[in-house]
């Protein structure tokens, strides 16, 4: 039930011409449903064998896990495969999840392990190659944008996307988890197997590169 007071407040913010029904709909859309279960409780129910809980959790998390791999590898087919691998691993490891802990860092820890295995395969690195070794290799191999690529920066969205894509993968992943998944540097460090300081440095480098690449768009915006 949305109270008249709340509807009135929305009308004050959005303008007096906003009709009460629209205001009520806006409030309802912005307020999380009481029935909406937390991801942690869904995971606990899924671990007990609840199929509906799994389905709901999968609907919520699959696009996020997929987006993580898309950001990392920029290939939809590969992201599809790695998403599947991640969920199969989550299924095998579901008993080790403790509901009192936040779910997303746990899920992304599993996804991050799959990502690093894929990177090791890609760069033919030994099984114990660390995140730092991959970062060094990547930074050396990341090419500068070609004149053709610069010409392709026709729209703002494609410029932003390409600025992100041009970052070394190790910076891209940190920025994705920090900016788009809202994880802290400490959480990212734990799930990538790196120190919080190293993650912070990597994020700062990435954000700085983005600032430099996107500054001309800000100029236009001003």
Largest Cα–Cα distance in the chain?
A: 65
Residue 13 vs 93, nearer CB to other proteins: 93
What tokens were used for 128?
A: 């114990």
Question: Applying CB under 8 A, does 93 fall inside the site for other proteins?
Answer: yes
Residue 18 vs 62, nearer CB to other proteins: 62
- Tell me, what DSSP letter sits at residue 107? H
Determine which helix (DSSP H) or strand (DSSP E) holds 117, and give its type and residue range.
helix 103-122
Binding mask 122-161 for other proteins (x = CB under 8 A): ----------------------------------xx--xx
CB–CB of 198/132 below 8 Å?
Answer: yes
Per the listing, tokens 């932003």 go with: 160
Residue 133 vs 214, nearer CB to other proteins: 214
Interface segment toward other proteins; rule CB under 8 A; list 31-39, 129-137, 139-147, 178-186: 178-186
Burial-class residue 170 by CB neighbours within 10 Å (0-12, 13-18, 19+): buried
Question: Applying CB under 8 A, does 18 fall inside the site for other proteins?
Answer: no
Question: Applying CB under 8 A, does 215 fall inside the site for other proteins?
Answer: yes
Instruction: Give min distance, CB of 47 to other proteins, in A.
Output: 5
Sign for the CA dihedral angle at 153, 156, 159, 161 comes to negative
Distance between CA atoms of residues 162 and 164, nearest Å: 5
Site for other proteins, residues 26 to 85, rule: CB under 8 A = 44, 46-51, 54-55, 58, 62-63, 66-67, 70-71, 76, 79-81, 83-84
The angle at the Cα of 76, spanning 75 to 78, to the nearest 5 degrees, equals: 70
Question: Applying CB under 8 A, does 115 fall inside the site for other proteins?
Answer: no
The closest alpha carbon to 176, from 59, 38, 43, 66, belongs to 66
Instruction: Give min distance, CB of 16 to other proteins, in A.
Output: 29
The angle at the Cα of 195, spanning 108 to 106, to the nearest 5 degrees, equals: 20
- Return residues touching other proteins (CB under 8 A): 44, 46-51, 54-55, 58, 62-63, 66-67, 70-71, 76, 79-81, 83-84, 87-89, 91-98, 101, 106, 109-110, 113, 156-157, 160-161, 164, 178-180, 190-191, 200, 203-204, 207-208, 210-211, 214-215, 217-218, 221-222
């Amino acid at each position: 039930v949305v109270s008249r007071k709340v509807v009135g407040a929305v009308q004050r913010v959005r303008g007096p011409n906003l009709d009460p029904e629209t205001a009520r709909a806006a409030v309802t859309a912005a307020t999380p449903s009481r029935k909406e279960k937390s991801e942690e409780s869904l995971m606990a129910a899924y671990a007990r064998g609840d199929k509906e809980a799994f389905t709901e959790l999968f609907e919520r998390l699959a696009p996020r896990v997929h987006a993580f791999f898309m950001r990392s590898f920029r290939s939809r087919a590969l992201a599809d495969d790695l998403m599947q691998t991640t969920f199969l691993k989550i299924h095998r490891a579901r008993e080790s999840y403790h509901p009192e802990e936040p779910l997303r860092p746990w899920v992304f820890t599993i996804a991050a392990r799959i990502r690093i295995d894929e990177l090791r395969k890609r760069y033919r690195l030994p099984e114990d190659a660390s995140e730092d070794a991959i970062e060094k290799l990547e930074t050396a191999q990341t090419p500068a944008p070609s004149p053709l690529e610069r010409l392709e920066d026709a729209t703002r969205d494609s410029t932003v996307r390409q600025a992100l894509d041009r970052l070394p993968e190790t910076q891209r992943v940190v920025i994705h988890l920090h900016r788009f998944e809202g994880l802290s540097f400490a959480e990212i460090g734990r799930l990538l197997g790196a120190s919080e300081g190293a993650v912070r440095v990597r994020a700062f480098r990435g954000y700085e590169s983005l600032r430099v690449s996107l500054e001309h768009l800000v100029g236009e915006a001003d």
